[in-house]
Amino acid sequence: MAESKRTKTAGRGLETPPSDIPFPSVAIIGSGFGGLCMAIKLKEAGFQAITIFEKADRVGGTWRDNSYPGAACDVPSHLYSFSFEPKSDWSRAFPEQSEILGYIDHVADKYNLRPHIRFRTEVTAAEFDEAKGLWRIETITGSSENNGSRGRHETHFAHVLVSACGQLNRPAYPDIPGLDRFEGVQFHSARWNHQHSLKGRKVAVIGTGASAIQFVPPVAEQAGQLHVFQRTPTWILPKPDRPYMNYEKRRFRKFPAWRETYRNWLYWSLEARFAALNQGSVLGEMVKRAALEHLDSQVKWPLLKKALTPDYELGCKRILISNDYYPAIQRPNVALITTPVERFTKNSVVDRDGRSYDVDTVIFGTGFETTGFLAPIRITGLGGQSLKEAWKDGAEAFLGVTVAGFPNLFMLYGPNTNLGHNSILFMIECQVHYAIQCIRRLVDRRLKYLHPDPDRQREYNEWVQAELKKRVWATGCHSWYVNEKGKNTNNWPTYTVSYWRKTRQVDFSAYRSEAR
Ligand code: NAP
């Protein structure tokens, strides 16, 4: 990875790359699970010229950003770690955010990744130089989301660009009239304001998705009054969570084969759940019944039960797990409001029926901008084509990793690789394995670049979209998986084992390449 000596202002002419760039040099965007996994496997493969650009000041990605009270993962602990870096002493069955972040820190230290990371450095643009087979990467260092400071512009060069930004890194804020005039404190769940005590406050929560059902219970315990504004109820199952006993942790540590067996059992039992995501499946019906029984057992008041019962297919939005959300909603200081929010005043939320709720704090649990993927970064590929233009009808890639016309670009957790039933770390490891085979090919065949054949990419995506039509995500609910044109750009359409099969050996006949 090389860097030009002179800093520059983005938008001015691009600089000349230095002549001594080690081949292949790799630039990675993001230091969450994806970016770190990529760097570890690159190092293991003998590639040392690695730079990770991280816009924040510490590693962790989504687990750094989502520090809201109650934040936890709904994938079991022993599966929510890299296969090559097991952790025996998970404290409980489902990991909490702080423990996951601790694990990520441990990984960054153990594999000596920090010297490769440029913190507080945001990638703003990347342009592929076809003649040189190099990505020119524009960054801003030291800019701040909080104080609006501008930062220092620089240009870097790398043969390979890896995007590891995830699908859930840009908070979505609702466009509700009057929000700019609200005089209280407002923040998003992924930008939690830990300085603002909620004790005794009059709080409004907008949204009731995966994040909100986790932070509503602890917020309800502190707030004086909490109004939860629900647009759509969600399907919720009991959470089979519990702390691990010391003897269990000891057994995991002393008997790695036992730990591995347990992890495999978790993987296959989650994998089996995919059947519930097929339209009209028997398993889906059984899971729906379990969710309704959970609601029935925790909520007695018929009107509230009705308000909390989803009217869309189970799984069309993410199936959630919680034992404390329904009880929290029924606390005397909590009210569930199902009338849509119409506007804000300087100190209240007003619903469409004209009812006004006094609040001094608004928390947005309104999710993320998910269908744009790399959107805020200007990516320019062969022939000056922009990725934004190539994706004007919706993001798509080959196996979610590579994109025709954008050579030597590899995406982790890219288009159509999100899951509703299993661990995303499994997918990331498959993608890293795939990308490294491609990078090795660049070296072994002395290639300047490679990228997928557009016809093969189109055929693959036709298959993806045809498969997706058979799943519950195509049954018409509004979800973050589907873009404004009705295309599901986010989800992998079948079992993860099928993804593993497709990515374990790169079919280079699906690729075009150019010699150095
Ligand atoms: P989300 O699932 O997209 O939920 C957003 C919520 O905000 C929904 O209830 C949505 O209502 C509501 N909303 C959005 N815009 C609104 C508006 N203008 N007015 C009123 N309500 C509005 O977002 P999230 O809860 O942050 O979760 C996103 C994803 O993050 C999850 O699906 C999951 O993949 C991941 N996540 C994972 C975990 C985990 O345990 N692994 C935990 C948290 C998050 P509608 O439903 O009507 O759109």
Q: pLDDT by residue (tens digit) across 294-309?
A: 999 999 999 999 999 9
pLDDT of res. 10: 32
- If you measure from the C-alpha of residue 57 to the centroid of ligand 1, how many angstroms do you get, rounded to a whole number? 26
The first and second tokens of residue 173, run together, are 């804020």
pLDDT range class, residue 185, cuts 50, 70, 90:
very high
**pLDDT of 281 strictly over 60:** yes
Q: Cα–Cα distance between 72 and 320 in angstroms, integer?
A: 12
- How crowded is residue 405: how many other Cβ atoms within 10 Å of its Cβ? 18
SS3 state of residue 56: coil
Nearest Cα neighbor of 510 from 465, 463, 462, 459 is 459
- If you measure from the C-alpha of residue 64 to the centroid of ligand 1, how many angstroms do you get, rounded to a whole number? 18
Question: Measuring from atom 26 of ligand 1, which residue has the nearest CA?
Answer: 367
Q: Cα–Cα distance between 220 and 307 in angstroms, integer?
A: 19
DSSP assignment of 105-169 equals HHHHHHTT-GGGEETTEEEEEEEEETTTTEEEEEEEES--TTT----EEEEEEESEEEE---SS-
Q: Cα–Cα distance between 387 and 401 in angstroms, integer?
A: 14
Ligand 1 lined by 478 (C-beta under 6 Å): yes
148 burial type by CB count under 10 A (0-12 exposed, 13-18 middle, 19+ buried): exposed
Which runs of E-coded beta strand occur in 338-469? Answer: 341-344, 348-351, 356-358, 361-364, 378-380, 409-411, 447-452
**pLDDT of 219 strictly over 50:** yes
**pLDDT of 260 strictly over 50:** yes
CA distances from 221 to 216, 275, 295 (A): 9, 37, 21
CA-366 nearest atom, ligand 1? 7
447: β partners: 515
Task: Choose the residue to mutate in 33, 231, 316, 364 for probing ligand 1, maximizing ligand atoms within 8 Å of C-beta.
Answer: 231
Average predicted confidence (pLDDT) for the chain:
95
Ligand 1 lined by 35 (C-beta under 6 Å): no
80-105, pLDDT tens digit by residue?
999 999 999 999 999 999 999 999 99
CA-66 nearest atom, ligand 1? 43
pLDDT of res. 283: 97
- If you measure from the C-alpha of residue 480 to the centroid of ligand 1, how many angstroms do you get, rounded to a whole number? 8
Pairing of strands 117-118, 50-53: parallel
Q: Are 356 and 345 in contact (CB under 8 A)?
A: yes
pLDDT range class, residue 151, cuts 50, 70, 90:
confident
**pLDDT of 403 strictly over 90:** yes
Ligand 1 lined by 231 (C-beta under 6 Å): yes
- If you measure from the C-alpha of residue 278 to the centroid of ligand 1, how many angstroms do you get, rounded to a whole number? 22
423: left (phi over 0), alpha (psi -120 to 50) or beta: beta
The first and second tokens of residue 391, run together, are 């994706």
Could you give the residue ranges of the DSSP H alpha helices within 223-364? 246-254, 256-272, 282-298, 302-307, 325-329
- If you measure from the C-alpha of residue 148 to the centroid of ligand 1, how many angstroms do you get, rounded to a whole number? 27
Ligand 1 lined by 211 (C-beta under 6 Å): yes
Ligand 1 lined by 206 (C-beta under 6 Å): yes
**pLDDT of 315 strictly over 70:** yes
pLDDT of res. 393: 92
Report, as an integer, the average pLDDT of 130-152. Answer: 83
Q: Cα–Cα distance between 490 and 471 in angstroms, integer?
A: 13
pLDDT range class, residue 234, cuts 50, 70, 90:
very high
410: β partners: 162
**pLDDT of 146 strictly over 90:** no
142: left (phi over 0), alpha (psi -120 to 50) or beta: left
The residues near 352 (Cβ < 8 Å, ≥ 6 apart) are 339, 340, 341, 342
- If you measure from the C-alpha of residue 188 to the centroid of ligand 1, how many angstroms do you get, rounded to a whole number? 11
Ligand 1 lined by 365 (C-beta under 6 Å): yes
Q: Which amino acid is at 356?
A: S
Residue 513 host element (H or E): strand 511-515
The residues near 254 (Cβ < 8 Å, ≥ 6 apart) are none
The first and second tokens of residue 201, run together, are 């406050």
Q: Cα–Cα distance between 47 and 410 in angstroms, integer?
A: 16
pLDDT of res. 17: 86
Angle value at C-alpha 191, between 186 and 192, nearest 5 degrees: 70
Region of poorest pLDDT, from 7-11, 41-45, 437-441, 497-501: 7-11
